[in-house]
Amino acid sequence: MRRFGYLRQLSDEDVSRVHEKAIEMLENFGIRVEDEGVRDVMARSGGGILPNGRVSVRREAIERAMNASVPEIKLSSLSGAEVSVGEGLLVHSTGGAPWIIDSKSGARRDALASDLADAVRLMNAVDGLDLPCALVYPSDVPVEISQFLQSVILFRNSEKPVYCPGVSTPLNAKYIAEIFKALGDGERNVGMVGVSPTSPLIWPKEITDTARILSEAGVPISVLAAPIAGMTAPFSVVGCVAVCHAEILAFAAFCKLVNPKVPLVYGARPFFAGMRVGQVLLGLPETGAASGMAAQMAALCGMPSDVYGMAGTGCGFDEQTGYEKMMNGLLPALSGASMITGLGGLGSAMCGSLEQIVIDGEIARMIKNAAAERETGDDALGMEEMGEVLEEGGSFMDRIHTVERLRKGEVFEPRLGFADGVTGWYGDGRTSLGERAACEARKVLAAERRPVMSDAQENELAAITRSAEREASATRHR
């Protein structure tokens, strides 16, 4: 697992205190569990039923789940690309935006399945992004199996391991699990999914059914707890983080009861609202601060973390979007987060944008460079070259050490941001960042599409899709 971050939002004593208070919440306040069978299982596993009917989740159940957790989860794409969640800093796109900014007109419109496919193809070419998510929620697919069909689009187009959309129904979970089984050959994890319990401390039956199906199949799950300070959590940064921590601990305990070997990720989503407007505003600096704290809490549990990062309230390719995304991405990255999300999103993740995918790829590369571990050996320090320059005269520009370090990316090299000075910028026609991003997106999408799947895999996916569509149709007409 990567060395823990440089920035400590909470002291070790504070981390322990928040953890203890989260356990106190679970023991004394409990979880409202809608499914009677799950309620009985949880009660027998080290808890009990409180007088108010909620299920107490005791310390021993939490500790069993923590002891069964793993700090790293390896994912492998159909094209052979591999990442290890928990080793180094990974970046993934935001997911579930209902709208997209149309690249031709600049207008906001409902997202389509074709928009999602374009977004994933573009993400293949963005170096700063490691796992594509379903950036937008297509409006032109059957709602009953939308999450499944989003996953199909991801697998058909992604050359990288995928992060499937948050799964909220057993029907979607059933067929997503079949995809993982078919494409993973029972031997590898071709991606991961998210599942969200409801805040504060509520488990709807559909969600526990969903988690049970995915856990039994061994699909890696990010437990996405998303309390909102002042609405579904206390109106304080640390109070919201504590509720988030409690919800993740309890749900992890349930998933580990279903399958002790299911890989779990600490998917903290502590949100903060602008209380004047009554809406979640992802560009607030508390988003990054709370995500950094959550990364520390995940490390205590021995789990890789998946937190918000490159999030913004801004709705355009402008200064507000830039400073919000950098602030909220850099804080958790420096705090030791395993993964940060938010790439490609605008307007508090309500809009997706192809141009923003490209821009955020540049921001992600900058954040990774800033958060990278630095070598301190003689070669990194350039001791031999220092001696040669002092002895022979000259500079470091013609030294092989400089060339090697340039090739290794020692110092960030802009690819999208303008770096040729004022004279060069005027000579280039003073193009804006958004214009350069749009040009890059068009170039990538105009290139010939490379097939991701073999014919056999396409046939398997098509067969699973037909089964899902038949069951969805039958459900719709009952």
- pLDDT tens figures, 388-399: 888 888 888 888
201 contacts: CB under 8 Å, gap ≥ 6: 25, 26, 29, 30, 31, 32, 54, 243, 246, 247, 250
380 contacts: CB under 8 Å, gap ≥ 6: 374
Q: What is the mean pLDDT of residues 357-380?
A: 91
CA atoms of 291 and 108, how far apart (whole Å): 29
Bridge partners of 192, per DSSP, are 163
Give the number of other CB atoms < 10 A from CB of residue 397: 7
Percent of all residues in the chain with a pLDDT value above 70, rounded to a whole number: 99
CA atoms of 467 and 54, how far apart (whole Å): 38
- pLDDT reported for residue 2: 47
- If residue 195 lies in a helix (H) or strand (E), which one and from where to where? strand 191-195
pLDDT higher than 70, residue 1: no
CA atoms of 397 and 333, how far apart (whole Å): 32
CA atoms of 236 and 367, how far apart (whole Å): 27
Check if the beta carbon of residue 437 is closer than 8 Å to that of residue 414: no
CA atoms of 305 and 270, how far apart (whole Å): 13
Q: What is the mean pLDDT of residues 306-326?
A: 95
pLDDT digits 0-9 by tens, 399-434: 888 888 888 888 888 888 877 778 777 877 788 889
pLDDT digits 0-9 by tens, 200-217: 999 999 999 999 999 999
Check if the beta carbon of residue 162 is closer than 8 Å to that of residue 155: yes
pLDDT digits 0-9 by tens, 221-244: 999 999 999 999 999 999 999 999
441 contacts: CB under 8 Å, gap ≥ 6: 103, 122, 354, 355, 357, 358
pLDDT band with cut points at 50, 70 and 90 for residue 386 = confident
Query: Among 140-154, 183-197, 389-403, where is mean pLDDT lowest?
Result: 389-403
Domains, the chain, ordered by start:
1-373+414-478 (3.20.20.480), 378-407 (no CATH)
Check if the beta carbon of residue 44 is closer than 8 Å to that of residue 254: no
pLDDT higher than 60, residue 3: no
- pLDDT reported for residue 340: 97
Arithmetic mean of pLDDT over the chain: 93
User: What's the DSSP call for residue 104?
Assistant: T
pLDDT higher than 70, residue 330: yes
143 contacts: CB under 8 Å, gap ≥ 6: none
Matching residue, tokens 């355009």: 316
Q: What are residue 76's phi and psi, to 5 degrees?
A: -135, 130
In this structure, what is the dihedral angle of CA atoms 30, 299, 5, 415, given to the nearest 10 degrees?
Answer: -90
Helix (H, G, I), strand (E, B) or coil at 281: coil
- pLDDT reported for residue 158: 96
Name the pTM for this structure: 0.93
- pLDDT reported for residue 478: 67
Cα angle vertex 136, ends 180, 275, to 5°? 120
pLDDT digits 0-9 by tens, 70-108: 999 999 999 899 999 999 999 999 999 999 999 888 899
- pLDDT reported for residue 292: 97
